[in-house]
Amino acid sequence: MNLLTKRPDNTGLFYFCLMIITTQYTDINATMRGIRTQVIDSYQFCIDNLPKFNNPGEMFKYLKGAVTYKNDPPGIELIQSAQTLFLNNYWGIPGAGDCDCFSVLVLAACMTNKWPKQRIVLAGRSKLAPVHIWTEVYYNGSWFSMDLTQPYFNTTREYKYLQYLNV
């Protein structure tokens, strides 16, 4: 996978667009705004560096092989763009991140493959305290879970509460 990319800015010069959002965790709304920002920032990187996938299972297998799960630092909500995840990782380990970083990657990759329907799944033990997030993609008439923290495609852990947010 070619993970080095440059984009032209409005002066004609090239720059690397590497972005990490690190903030104290406040609430899920702030996290969702951060995810939105990172997906937008990840789009061109995914176009330039990821192959086109024939189906969600193929995408899952490819991305799963490129990432490593690593918890956020204590008290910090770390949301990395795709290019930061691979090129300038907070941990110094290319591909290291947690479920929200992986959700950013999957959403941007789905968008570049022109799969128009995705949703984010928030999961938790109570309605007000989600503890996990993943992406689902609608493909050929079915929803598929794309949780890169899971070992296998289209699998999830059980949670008492699930909330689905269309993207």
For residues 70 and 105, give the distance between their C-alpha atoms in angstroms, rounded to a whole number.
15
Apex 150 CA angle, 137 and 69, nearest 5: 110
Q: Are strands 14-15 and 7-8 parallel, antiparallel or unpaired?
A: antiparallel
Domain ranges, ordered by start, for the chain: 7-166
Q: Which two tokens stand for residue 150?
A: 């899971």
- Note the pLDDT of residue 27: 65
The pLDDT, as a whole number, for residue 77 is 83
- Of the chain, the percentage scoring pLDDT greater than 70 comes to 83
149 closest CA partner among 167, 131, 129: 131
Region 7-166: CATH code: 3.10.620
Global pTM reads 0.83
* 159 φ/ψ angles, rounded to the nearest 5 degrees: -135, 150
Q: Residues 141, 143, 146, CA angle at the centre, nearest 5°?
A: 140
> Of 56, 78, 54, nearest to 143 (Cα)?
56
pLDDT of 10 higher than 50 = no
Share of the chain above pLDDT 90, in %: 66
Q: Is the confidence at residue 107, as pLDDT, over 50?
A: yes
Higher pLDDT, 155 or 6: 155
pLDDT at residue number 25: 53
The mean pLDDT value of the chain amounts to: 85
Map the chain to HEC letters. CCCCCCEECCCCCEECCCCEEEEECCCHHHHHHHHHHHHHHHHHHHHHHCCCCCCHHHHHHHHHCCCEECCCCCCEEEEECHHHHHHCCCCCCCCEECHHHHHHHHHHHHHHCCCCCEEEEEEECCCCCEEEEEEEEEECCEEEEECCCCCCCCCCCCCCEEEEEEC
| Range name among 7-16, 17-26, 82-91, 149-158 with the lowest pLDDT average | 7-16
Q: If you average pLDDT over residues 35-47, what whole number do you get? A: 94
The pLDDT of residue 59 is above 60: yes
70 backbone dihedrals φ, ψ, rounded to 5°? -145, 125
